[in-house]
Structure 1
Amino acid sequence: MDLTTWLSLVVVCVMGAISPGPSLAVILRVSVSQSALHGVLASLSHGAGIGFWVFITLQGMAVLIEQHQQAFSILTVLGGLYLAWLGIKALRYAGKGKIDEVEAVKSSYWESIRDGLLIALMNPKIALFFLALFSQLVDAEMTAMMKVQFWTTVVVIDSGWYILVALLLTSGPVLPWLRRNMVWVDRVMGCLLTLIGLKVVIG
């Protein structure tokens, strides 16, 4: 994987991870209502769920590239349009997402692990997002090692961000920062997705 492709993957995944959504809400709830350790475990299981979608997406795209090149080309264009649409939507509704306050509800470590895993596995938008993103970055030359690099990069970024959130919540800098900067997080994410999506559509 060349450096430009890897950096594109890193930047989009970082912005996607920090953008407020259902996953962040779950990690916040677990971390604040239970403990930092509960939040870390939920973060790791969430990363595992994301890793599942990455693996499935890469395997499916490998089959398309090898056996149905024309279908892959169509998917690439559709993926670009989808990313552009997500970007425009993020720009249009920048800062309008909410990070809700949480209530303390006692739960075990296993329940925290379950919650982190399920919020990743049960969100079909995650699969669509990676399908669209990878269709712009994956090509016929992709090796097994490159797939491992893709998988590792996404999982480390996702798990790492939520672990950071869980660990820093007790001192309070992450949540206030997100609330103050939600508009700019959404705007940057929107611009990145729009540019990546339009790149393939307009050639």
Structure 2
Amino acid sequence: MSWSNWSGLLLICLLGAMSPGPSLAMVTRHALAGGKRNGFAIAWAHAAGVGMYALLTMFGLAVLLHQSPRLFMVLTLLGAAYLTYLGLRALMSQGGIAQTLEAGNPESAAQAARDGLMISLLNPKLALFFIALFSQFVQPGSDTLAHFTLVATPFVIDGLWYTLVTLLLVHPAVLEKLRARSRLIDRLSGVVLILLAVRVFVTALA
């Protein structure tokens, strides 16, 4: 892969990782509730899902979904359903993030990782990203190093971005202010996730 092609891939992956959406809402919630451990867990589990999409794209995901719109519809609706579940869970949480910590029963790193992996694998925006943009960098006859670069770049960029987000969120000066508004953050994240789910449903069924 040439330097210019990799630079283009890097820029696209950066913009994709930094765009706000359900992933950012969930990383925020887990980082505030479970600290660095949970924040890092969800960040790199989410990145693993992104890496899986990159790997699948190299093996023909873009072609498969283009030829089978029904498969893409199923993926989209599953993603919307999972967003709805996450939104309802946030809305119905008992007392917010700070109260969860005080009760001594915060969600585990494994639960954070599960949410990170699922929200990336069931995110239709990621599927569209890899079909419309990432697939352009997949070239027939590429060598092993090029294939490794294509998978590693989005994986590393996504993981590092949400790691940075976690580190910013758990900074003492920021953390106390956010935890004081934990109930509001729970409610807002729930509303955002449900609104995103509604938009996905409407777009898919239009």
What amino acid does structure 1 have at the position aligned with 2:134?
F
CA contact (8 A) 2:51 2:154 kept: yes
Partner Cα distance (1:40, 1:31) in 2: 8
Structure 1 counterpart of 2:152: 152
Structure 2 counterpart of 1:48: 48
Structure 1 unpaired stretches of 5+: 65-70, 76-99, 177-203
Partner Cα distance (2:139, 2:53) in 1: 18
Structure 2 counterpart of 1:113: 113
Q: CA deviation at 1:49?
A: 0.8
Counterpart mapping for 1:102-141 below 5 A: 103-104=96-97, 105=100, 106-141=106-141
Partner Cα distance (2:162, 2:61) in 1: 28
Structure 2 unpaired stretches of 5+: 67-89, 101-105, 179-206
Q: CA deviation at 1:12?
A: 1.0
User: With structure 1 as the length reference, what TM-score do the two structures score?
Assistant: 0.62
Q: Share of identical aligned residues, percent?
A: 38
Number of aligned residue pairs = 139
Q: Report the structure, 1 or 2, having the larger helix content.
A: 2
Counterpart mapping for 1:161-200 below 5 A: 161-171=161-171, 172=174
Q: 1:61 to 1:3 in 2, by over 3 A?
A: farther
Partner Cα distance (2:111, 2:61) in 1: 33
Structure 2 counterpart of 1:10: 10
CA contact (8 A) 1:57 1:127 kept: no
Alpha-carbon RMSD across the aligned residues, in angstroms, is: 2.6
Partner Cα distance (1:24, 1:42) in 2: 10
Q: Which runs of 4+ in 1 moved over 4 A?
A: none
Partner Cα distance (1:134, 1:44) in 2: 20
Partner Cα distance (2:141, 2:50) in 1: 24
User: Which stretch has the larger CA shift, 15-24 or 138-147?
Assistant: 138-147
Q: CA deviation at 1:109?
A: 1.4
Partner Cα distance (2:50, 2:61) in 1: 17
Q: 1:26 to 1:139 in 2, by over 3 A?
A: same
1:78-130, Cα deviation, whole Å (9 max, x unpaired): xxxxxxxxxxxxxxxxxxxxxx9x93142111111111111111112212211
Q: CA deviation at 1:54?
A: 0.7
